[in-house]
Amino acid sequence: MRGNPLADVAANPSRLLLLAATDAKLLARLKPLLKEAWAPEAIALGSHVAYLWCANGVSDSRVGTAANRLLGEDGTARNLATMTKLVALLENG
């Protein structure tokens, strides 16, 4: 979360998904998506998660659908708002 490469674009934390894979190496499956034009959406890969900016909402996201298709059962996504709450629970818990 601290190294969010889409922080300048993603204005709404409920529309920025952090996609974690069961093994960080599996995020390499998403590399072909980096070559596609997704505007107004965006995708970036971190070392442990993929960042998916779903500008028009998560349920209507083309980039989210494409990422889910490539990772399937090997990944799970939560929005930044939820991840921020989970981190706070872990740090204060």
Which pLDDT tens digit goes with each residue over 47-90? Answer: 999 999 999 999 999 999 999 999 999 999 999 999 999 989 99
The number of folded domains in the chain is 1
The model's pTM: 0.92
- Helix/strand/coil (H, E, C) string of 2-58? CCCCCCCCCCCHHHEEEEEECCHHHHHHHHHHHHCCCCCCEEEECCCEEEEECCCCC
Does a structural domain hold residue 51? Answer: yes
What is the predicted pLDDT for the residue at 3?
A: 83
21: domain CATH number is 3.30.70
Expressed as residue numbers, the domain containing 72 is 13-92
Residue 68 lies in a domain: yes
Q: Domain for residue 4, yes or no?
A: no
Q: What is the mean pLDDT of residues 29-52?
A: 97
Q: For residue 47, what pLDDT is reported?
A: 92
